[in-house]
Amino acid sequence: MCDQTFLAITFGPCDSCSENRPLMNLYIKTEPINYCSLCMEIMACQGLASGETLKSLKAESETLRKKLEEERKKLHDVELEKVAEKAEALGELNMKTRRTLKGHGNKVLCMDWCKDKRRIVSSSQDGKVIVWDAFTTNKEHAVTMPTTWVMACAYAPSGCAIACGGLDNKCSVYPLSLDKDENLAAKKKSVAMHTNYLSGCTFTNSDMQILTSSGDGTSALWDVESGQLLQSFHGHSADVLTLDLAPSETGNTFVSGGSDKKANVWDLRSGQNVQSFDTHDSDINCVKYYPSGDAFASASDDSTCRLFDLRADREVSIYSKDSIMFGAASVDFSLSGRLLFAGYNDYTINVWDVLKGTRVAILFGHENRVSSLRVSPDGTAFCSGSWDNTLRIWA
């Protein structure tokens, strides 16, 4: 919790409607105002004032954009490669598949680790969601969803529940139990409701709240117990494909990436879009925060992965090679943030040196696209799920 967030008023009476609501920090010219999200929408949709035309508004956009670029340029005083010269070179990395989890009957679309560092939940195209103890490769729980293409799944922080969803436009939570003959499907709880497919879901710091992203262009925060919508996030102009919650002490922001090639950073409390990055050339398939919370990486269909610095508000590095022509589907950082693991549609996994921008290793093994990739909570291994129906643990 840095000093900046302490000074910003985030909850209280709105300057416009006087209702007690989570507030966005906005500016009219240079005057700060605190509006709730509803009043901000009303302000945006107001009829054109006298003298205003679509053209004048667009011209204002251009001037603001130019000004922003200038300001950011002033702060752009050094490149990452220069600063990274101080970092020592990496040694030889020897990563192999240590476990292969077989059991899904169709493409594995998503996976997530449990906080106990050894259990995994994975979901596939045929609607099956399986909880594995990856260390022993035993299947512990399994449930068949009534929908196919389960594109998102998440493990609860307590380890007592899982959430998943896909083409059914919903995110459902299943509490897990120790019974041998449990009927998971009976205890299902529908939490999130979107108007298009669910592309990503994650629990926040407890089992009681879920953050979801959907093909309808919005992300939303839900209360699990009541299914109530706590906050929605509008701003993407196409499907939102991925999201990631910030690991920092504040825990108040998350980043989402979409088919509109933009990655947006949002404030969880007010729903405000606080930062936006649009340097990618194609759909952003995955976004992941850097372990310190001050940056994030993205993987895109344009076959590159990029690193974005949140404090300097710009893209700082591109991880690409001429020989890599297929889209990147998923990324994650190692514990120290030195290594970036990325899974691609050409069946490989590339390991990049985050600071120096070079590729340190390429891993073969999967027989189809790598659809999702995550590093374990203690950084000892990472798991990759693929369209070849298997999951592999690499260490």
Partner 1 sequence: MTIRTLRDYGQHYRPRMACLKNVEVFVVEMQDPKSGVKGADQKLNVTIIPHVINGQDILAWIVTKMKVTTEEAQAFGTMLVAYGYIYPLQNHRKLVLVPDSTLYRFQTPYFWPVQKWPAEDIDYAIYLARRNIRKKGMLEPYEQQHYDNLHKWMNPKWDFIVMQATEQYKANKERKKPDRVVLDCQERAYWIVHRPPVLTFDVVRRTNIFLTQALMRSAVKSSVSLTAFVKFVTTHHNHDPFLTTPVPSNPWITDSDEFWQLNSRSVDIPTKLSVERWVLSFWELISDPRGRVDFKLFLKKEHSAENMAFYEAAEEMRWGAASAIPEKSQFIFNTFLKPGAPRWINIDGRTMGLTVKGLVVPHRYVLDAAQTHIFLLMKKDTFYRYLKSPVHKDMQKRALVPAPHVFTDAQLEANVRNRNPGVSPILQWQQEEEEKAAAAVAARPIDVKAMVATNKLDRK
Amino acid identity for residue 200 in this structure: G
- The binder of partner 1 chosen from 16, 103, 126, 167 (CB under 8 A): 167
Measuring CA to CA, how many Å separate 39 from each of 16, 34, 265? 7, 10, 21
Stretch that binds partner 1, among 76-84, 103-111, 298-306, 366-374 (CB under 8 A): 76-84
Question: Which residue from 185, 249, 325, 358 is in contact with partner 1, where contact means CB under 8 A?
Answer: 249
Interaction of residue 44 with partner 1, rule CB under 8 A: yes
Instruction: Please check whether residue 270 is in contact with residue 24, taking contact to mean a CB–CB distance below 8 angstroms.
Output: yes
Nearest to partner 1 of 54, 322 (CB atom) = 54
- Stretch of residues binding partner 1 (CB under 8 A), selected from 44-52, 120-128, 183-191, 278-286: 44-52
CB of 138 to partner 1, least distance (A): 7
Residues 7-26 interacting with partner 1 (rule: CB under 8 A): 10-12, 20, 22, 25-26
Residue 232 binding partner 1, by CB under 8 A: no
Looking at beta carbons only, is 71 or 281 nearer to partner 1? 71
Residue 49 touching partner 1 (CB under 8 A): no
According to CB under 8 A, which one of 238, 314, 346, 368 is a site residue for partner 1?
Answer: 314
Q: How far is CA 77 from CA 74, 83, 256, 312, in A?
A: 7, 11, 28, 10
Which of 18, 65, 105, 318 binds partner 1 (CB under 8 A)? It is: 65
Q: Do 300 and 327 meet the contact criterion of CB atoms below 8 Å apart?
A: yes
Alpha helix (H) residue ranges in the chain:
3-7, 37-45, 54-75, 80-84
User: DSSP labels for 225-282?
Assistant: TT--EEEEEE--SS-EEEEEE--SSS--EEEEEETTS-EEEEETTT--EEEEE---SS
By the 10 Å C-beta count (0-12 exposed, 13-18 middle, 19+ buried), 249 is classed as exposed
List the interface residues with partner 1, window 175-204 (CB under 8 A).
176-178, 195-197, 204
CB of 128 to partner 1, least distance (A): 18
Smallest gap from Cβ 328 to partner 1, in A, equals 19
Q: How far is the CB of 363 from partner 1 (least distance, A)?
A: 12
Residue 81 or 367: which CB sits closer to partner 1?
81
3 binds partner 1 (CB under 8 A): yes
Indicate the SS3 state at residue 20. Answer: strand
Counts for the chain of helices (H) and strands (E), in that order: 4, 31
Angle (CA) 78-84-89 rounded to 5° is 165
Name the one range near partner 1 by CB under 8 A: 102-110, 166-174, 185-193, 279-287: 166-174
Residue among 248 and 368 whose Cβ is closer to partner 1: 248
Cβ proximity to partner 1, 264 vs 322, nearer residue? 264
Structure tokens at 41: 């929408």
Q: Which amino acid is at 388?
A: D
Residues 320-379 touching partner 1, rule: CB under 8 A, are 334-339, 354-355, 378-379
Which 199-228 positions form the footprint of partner 1 (CB under 8 A)?
Answer: 204-206, 208-209, 223-226, 228
Of the candidates 313, 314, 310, 340, the one whose C-alpha atom is nearest the C-alpha of residue 328 is: 340
Q: Give the residue with the Cβ less far from partner 1, 138 or 321.
A: 138
Local structure of 216: helix, strand or coil: coil
Query: Residues in contact with partner 1, total (CB under 8 A)?
Result: 119
Strand partners, 138: 133
Please give the Cα distance from 260 to 236 (Å, whole number).
7
Binding status of residue 273 toward partner 1 by CB under 8 A: yes
